Chains A and B, each alone.
Chain A
Amino acid sequence: SAVISQKPSRDICQRGTSLTIQCQVDSQVTMMFWYRQQPGQSLTLIATANQGSEATYESGFVIDKFPISRPNLTFSTLTVSNMSPEDSSIYLCSVATSGAAKNIQYFGAGTRLSVL
């Protein structure tokens, strides 16, 4: 299994500012992902964070808006840039381990973002 710590757990931000969310895993993992979730709704994949290379973004998400870093196999950050109220959401980090458990994803508790 993997234990994931996300920081901050919640934040209230002003329009036009940026927020960086951190994701720390207690073990080295191959795959790290960032999701967005509206309260009470499903998860939408933003991007796959690749260690040592640029993140792979899903349709509708771009690097300028959601820059991602993955400096090593246990840590990643997601920045929500130039925020607007439409960015208010829950942002979740997840990891997939390798080997026999490669099809299991573990999620952090999420970062609840409100943009005023």
Chain B
Amino acid sequence: TQLLEQSPQFLSIQEGENLTVYCNSSSVFSSLQWYRQEPGEGPVLLVTVVTGGEVKKLKRLTFQFGDARKDSSLHITAAQPGDTGLYLCAAFGGSNYKLTFGKGTLLTVNP
């Protein structure tokens, strides 16, 4: 069973601050995904990282896939209240496109 460890579990910051969320595993993944879930909604895919060492940017969000493809990070620059939500990393394991999710990081950005 693949296990994705996310940290921190909770994060409360002020608007304008930077933050980093981590997703670690002892398993090697062919790809890893990051989702954001806002209250009352289902998770929405932000990015998929595939290549070891890959860095992808989505406006103020920067995603990195570790060289060994076992870990990933999400960095948010100048956080805004609209960034508030549950951030989940996920990876495919086995057949049938089954996703395994990390426990998530609940981010609150205070104005």
Which of A's residues lie within 8 Å of B, judged by CB?
Answer: 4, 31, 33, 40-45, 48, 56, 92, 94, 96, 102-110
Q: Is B48 an interface residue (CB 8 A)?
A: yes
Give every chain A residue within 8 A of B42 (Cβ-Cβ).
4, 92, 94, 106-110
A65 to chain B, nearest CB (A): 20
| Contact status B103-A41, CB under 8 Å | yes
Whole-angstrom distance between the Cβ of A36 and the nearest chain B Cβ? 11
B residues with a Cβ closer than 8 A to A are: 31, 33, 40-45, 48, 86, 88, 92, 96-104, 106
Cα separation A114 to B20 with both chains bound (whole Å): 34
Contacts A103-B92, A104-B45; A45 near B98 (Cβ below 8 A): yes
Q: Can you name the residue of chain B whose Cβ is closest to the Cβ of A6?
A: B42
A-B contact pairs, 11 of them (CB 8 A): A40-B86, A40-B106, A41-B103, A42-B102, A44-B101, A45-B99, A48-B98, A103-B31, A105-B45, A109-B41, A110-B40
Residues in A neighbouring B48, C-beta threshold 8 A: 103-104
Whether the Cβ atoms of A31 and B97 lie closer than 8 Å is yes
Q: Contact: A105 with B104, CB < 8 Å?
A: no
Partner among A41, A43, A102 whose Cβ is within 8 Å of the Cβ of B97: A102
What are the 8 A-B residue pairs with the smallest beta carbon separation, nearest first? A107-B42, A96-B97, A42-B103, A42-B104, A42-B101, A43-B101, A107-B43, A109-B42
- B contact residues around A105 at 8 Å (CB): 45, 97, 99
A106 to B41, CA, bound (A): 11
CB distance from A104 to the nearest CB of B (A): 6
In the complex, given contacts A40-B86, A48-B98, what are 19 additional A-B residue pairs having Cβ atoms less than 8 angstroms apart? A4-B42, A31-B96, A33-B98, A33-B99, A41-B104, A42-B101, A42-B102, A42-B104, A43-B43, A43-B99, A92-B42, A96-B97, A102-B97, A103-B33, A104-B45, A105-B45, A105-B97, A105-B99, A109-B42
